[in-house]
Copies of this chain bind each other. A is one copy, B any other.
Amino acid sequence: MHRFPLRVRYADTDQMGFAYYGHYLRWFEIGRVELLRSLGMRYRDLDASGVWLPVLEARCRYLKPARYDDLLAVETGVLRQARASVEFGYRVVREGDSPEILAVGSTDHCFMGSDGRPLRPPRELAEILARSPRAAGDDW
């Protein structure tokens, strides 16, 4: 899976001293955008060309809390790919001597034009997704 580093900021913490559960969806966004960038596709160019990947569904399982200033990584891979949709899988891990999985999650997307209609993805995007790292394991 593709790895991208993250740091837990004060803005991300709540009064329990943990990263707020809603921020993980932001981290998933970062994960999938950086996965695409690593494969040569900038989401901003897709967006500008009128191809959107809206999120149809998101799930996150919280295993251990992330704390202030923790150095994390979001690991991202393609979980399933169909003609007009794609699903990404994510792991949020804490770096360190013994890395720990803090959360696992997934997001389902369709391809949509800026008119709100479903689309076949441009061939370049379909090919990029086809050769993307897969979401490993069976934890989704």
Contact = CB atoms under 8 A, between A and B. Distances in A.
B14 A25 contact: no
A44 to B, nearest CB: 4
A16 interface: yes
Nearest to A11: B26
A56 B61 contact: yes
Copies of this protein in the assembly total: 4
Interface of A: 7, 9-11, 13-18, 20-23, 25-26, 29-30, 33, 42-44, 47, 52, 54-62, 65, 68-69
22 contacts: A7-B30, A9-B26, A10-B20, A10-B33, A10-B43, A11-B26, A11-B29, A13-B13, A13-B15, A15-B15, A15-B17, A21-B25, A21-B58, A22-B22, A22-B23, A22-B25, A42-B69, A47-B68, A54-B65, A56-B61, A56-B62, A59-B59
